[in-house]
Structure 1
Amino acid sequence: MQTTNNNKYPFFDLLEVVAEPDLKFRKLKSLHPVKAGNLVPEFKLNNDYSRWQQFYNGAETHGPISQRNLLNKPLVISFYSRHWGQQGLAQLKQLNNLQHEVKASGGNLLIISDERTEDLEKWAWEQSLTLNFYHDADKEIAQQFRVYSEDYPVWDRFSGIDENAPLLATYIIIEPSKQVIYSHIDWDFLGTFSAEDIISTVYESALISNSRRSA
C-alpha cells in the first residue's frame, strides 16, 4: 500500500518490495596452463583428414601426414587463433622462420588452430608459409594443455579480443611419455618465445632419444 507524505517522491512500505530471484553466479577460474615437467597423457591427434592442413611455400598441399613420423621426434606444438590478430600472425611468422631449424635439429613442428578459415589460406600464401596445421575446433587439445577454458574467457585478462580463444602458447612434447620439456606463454605480450631455446631443447632431446634407440 502506498503511503502519502509531503515528499516529492512516493513512499512504499517495505513489505511491498518483492526481492528479485537470486541470479546464478558462476565463479571464474584462472587458467593454469601445462608447464615444462608436466605430462599430458590424454594428448592424441585425430586421423580425420579434415582436421589437417598443410602449406608449402604458401601453397596448400594435400599429401598424407604420418602421425607416427610426426610423434616419433620431439614435437613443437604452438597454439594459434585468428582472434589474436597481429600478435597471432607474428607468432606464425616466427614459427615459419624456425621450422627448417626444428627439422634439422631432429624435431617436428605442428600448429594447433581453433578453426579453419579462408583468411588463413590467404595469409599463408602472402607470407609463403611452410607449416602444418591441426584444427582443434572443439578445443579438446587446448583444454588438455589448459590454455583454454570456458570458465576463464581470455577477454577477462586481455583487452582487444572479443572471442574466447586458446592462449598463444608454445610447447615441446616427447613420446611415449607425453612429457612437456619446454613451455612458453607470453602473458604480457612482451615478446614471443626464444627460438634459440626451442632449437637447443629439440636438439638435446633428439640426441638423447637417438642414443637410447641405438643402445
Structure 2
Amino acid sequence: MSLKAQIDAYNVKKEANLPAEVLALMNTTNEELIAQHVRDNALQVGQKVENFSLVNHRGATVELSKLLANGPVIISFYRGAWCPYCNLELKALNDYLPQFKAQHASLVAISPQLPDETLSTAQKNELEFDVLSDASNIIASQFGLLFTLDERIQRLYTKFGIDFEQYYGDKSFKLPLPATYVINQSGIITYAFVSEDYTLRAEPEDVLANLKSENI
C-alpha cells in the first residue's frame, strides 16, 4: 500500500473520531500556514547542503560528510513521535530501506526532539536507520524549514496531552515543515519534497525512483 493510501485511510478515521470543531480548527490553521509560503525559503533541487553532525538515538554522532562518502543520503525531517503522519512516513521509509541500500543510499530522519525522545521514536516504529536529534532546530533552520506552530493549535495539542517541553526541551513551539531530501555525493540536492501541509508526505517510491535515475 502506498504511503498516500495509508494517510488517506488514517484521515478517514480521524474525521470519524474527532469533533467537527476540532477538525475545522485543524483545517483552518493548516490552510493559513500553507498561505504563508514558508517552503519558498527551503533548500531546493540543485542547491548544496553544508556539512553537519547530529547525535542519533543511540547517542552516537552522525556526520553528513561521512555518510556521503559511501553514497547518496536521504533526509526526512519530521515533527515528532506524537504526529501520526510522521509515524506513518517513518514506517513507510523503513519498509523501503533495503531498496534504498541497494542503491548505496543512507537514510536518516531528523526532528528537534531530545535524544531520549528520538530513541522512543526509533523503538516505537522499529526503525532500522538513524533518527537524529536536531536540538533547537539548528539544521532545520539551515534548510529553511522552520515555522512556529499556531497558538490555537498549541492549545489544542496541549489539551491532547502533548507535552512539548518533554519532547523538545522548550516551549518555543518551533517545528520543521515535513520535508524529504536526496543529496548526492557532491552534497547537491537531487530530490526535494517540502510541504506546509503536514498531511502530505513524500512517497518512498518517488525517492527510490530519484536514486535509480541518478545511478543510470
Q: Fold match, TM over 0.5?
A: yes
Please tell me the root mean square deviation across aligned C-alpha atoms, in Å: 3.0
Give 5+ residue unaligned stretches, structure 1: 1-28, 55-59, 209-215
Greater C-alpha radius of gyration: 1
Match of 2:51? 44
Q: Cα–Cα, structure 1 residues 123 and 109, in superposed 2: closer, same or farther, change >3 Å?
A: closer
* Structure 2 residue aligned with 1:155: 150
* Cα distance change on mapping 1:184 and 1:153 into 2, 3 Å: same
| Structure 1 pair 136–37 and aligned structure 2 pair: CA distance change class (3 A) | same
Number of corresponding residues: 164
Give, in angstroms, the shift of residue 92 of structure 1: 1.6
Which residue of the partner structure matches residue 83 of structure 2? 85
Q: Deviations over 1:5-52 (max 9, x none)?
A: xxxxxxxxxxxxxxxxxxxxxxxx7522435434135x2123xxxx32
- Percentage identity across paired residues of the two chains: 23
Match for residue 97 of structure 1?
95
Q: 1:157 to 1:84 in 2, by over 3 A?
A: farther
Instruction: Give the structure with the higher percent helix.
Output: 2
Whole-angstrom distance in 2 between the partners of 1:78 and 1:38: 18
Please say if 1:199 is aligned against 2:208.
yes
Matches within 5 A, 1:135-150: 135-148=133-146
- Against the structure 1 CA distance between its residues 118 and 196, is the aligned structure 2 distance closer, same or farther, given a 3 Å change threshold? same
Separation (CA, whole Å) in 1 of partners of 2:189 and 2:62: 22
Q: What are the superposed Cα offsets for residues 74-107 of structure 1, whole Å, 9 maximum, x if unpaired?
A: 1111112327621222222122212221111221
Is 2:187 the counterpart of 1:184? no
Q: Which residue of 2 aligns with 1:34?
A: 42
Q: Distance in 1 between matches of 2:118 and 2:110?
A: 13
Judging changes above 3 Å, is the alpha-carbon distance between structure 1 residues 158 and 102 closer, same or farther for their aligned structure 2 residues? Answer: farther
Alpha-carbon contact 2:179-2:201 (below 8 Å) kept: no
Structure 2 CA distance for aligned equivalents of residues 66 and 187 of structure 1: 27
Partner of 1:71: 68
Shift, 1:53, TM fit? 1.8
Offset at residue 114 of structure 1 (A): 1.1
